Amino acid sequence: MNAEEAQTFERLCNKSQEAFLLAIELYNRPTIKYRVEGCAFFLCNAWELLLKAFLIKREGNRSIYYANKIDRTISLDDCIKKVFTNKNDPLRKNLERIIELRNTSTHFVVEEFEGIYAPLLQACVENYDDKARELLGIEISDLIPENYLVLSVRRSLVDFEECRARYGSEVVNKMISLRSGVLSSDDMENNRRYACSYVAELRATKHKDADLTFRIDKSAEESVALIKQLVDPEDKYPYRTSHVVEMVNRRLEKSGINLFAGGEPKSKFTKNDFQLFAKVYDMKHDERYAHNTSMENEQPRYAYSQQAVDDILSIIRQDPSHVIDRLKSEAKTERSSSDSRPQEQGDSKREAYSHSGTQL
């Protein structure tokens, strides 16, 4: 890049990050009702500036202008087509949906749209974080804590009959059409680069290191009840094996942690590595980590929870140089021993590898 290109590149990078932070801050403000529309506007702006900066870095200043209109820069749609050339890329499809939301927002958006678009906005935020790092070496976590990248989403079921009374049939029909088109795309199912959400759980436990504590007082004026609530497996177990592997690799790369096996560095955390964790820690039979989604008479097919990802990463961080070799050794020992191991022995194994207040 020449001096002029370098100056434009730097300005676009800075403005892109500012627009991204505005999108996050606007969405997470509890008093703002314009959060979905505002977040979409600023996310689109952030992406457009980011991709134009990348095109200048790759091809020079002329790449961001139309050939027949040298005074007009290309649109976000054109930037996306230049950088993400695969039409079926989940990231590209996600951006196209966010652009649709931005365009729709200029006409009319009701607050119930949040339940439809929130998973897409969350994926768009994570995709920006990844691509800013990959394309331009920008670490958003240098500007904002990583936990702030999780949008504060108000998730509730949409009562279409109530909406019909409030807005009329035309708006409700539009909402139903949008929900079907946005969230029911078969090829995008369970792909976190297209749509994703986070679920927080509170569970009663007798462990003393719990994050929240309470006690039951029978003489208190106000009463509480301990209940068990049915949980949608798709919410609690959002990942397939490939998604777990992808998430672990992303977090390892972001933390600058290198895995080793046999004394040699590994390029990636693989599906085989994940199967070692699943076997040694019996994850597939632990409801904290896995759920069998197969139908009757089908081969088992498991989905995994966010806790599975977090606990695998926590174990790796303790000893990235030897953890894979240790698991291979334990798996080999387990194969050579009796298939029936007492439950108490399995429980003691989980205790032995407790970490960060969580026990496997």
Tens of pLDDT, residues 175-198: 555 555 555 554 445 577 777 655
189 CB-near residues (< 8 Å, 6+ apart): none
Distance separating alpha carbons of residues 95 and 192, to the nearest angstrom: 13
Q: What is the pLDDT of residue 351?
A: 45
User: What tokens does 43 get?
Assistant: 């996310």
- List phi, psi (to 5°) of 337: -90, 180
What does the pLDDT read at residue 186? 43
d(CA 341, CA 339): 6
Residues in the chain predicted with pLDDT less than 50, given as ranges, are 186-188, 227, 338, 340-346, 348-359
Could you tell me the pTM of the whole model?
0.59
> What torsion, rounded to 10 degrees, do the Cα atoms 125, 131, 134, 138 define?
-60
8 Å CB contact between 293 and 233: yes
Contact 293, 353 (CB under 8 A): no
What pLDDT score does 110 carry?
57
Element (H, E) at 19: helix 3-27
CB environment 50-74: b (16+ within 10 A), e (fewer) = bbbbbbbbeeebebbeeeeeeeebb
Q: Tell me, what's the pLDDT at 193? A: 78
> Which of left, alpha, beta for 222 (phi over 0: left; psi -120 to 50: alpha)?
beta
> pLDDT tens digits for 136-176?
989 888 888 777 777 776 555 555 555 555 555 665 566 55
pLDDT of residue 358: 45
* Contact criterion met (CB below 8 Å) for 18 and 140: no
Q: Which helix (H) or strand (E) holds 183?
A: helix 169-183
What pLDDT sits at residue 243?
A: 87
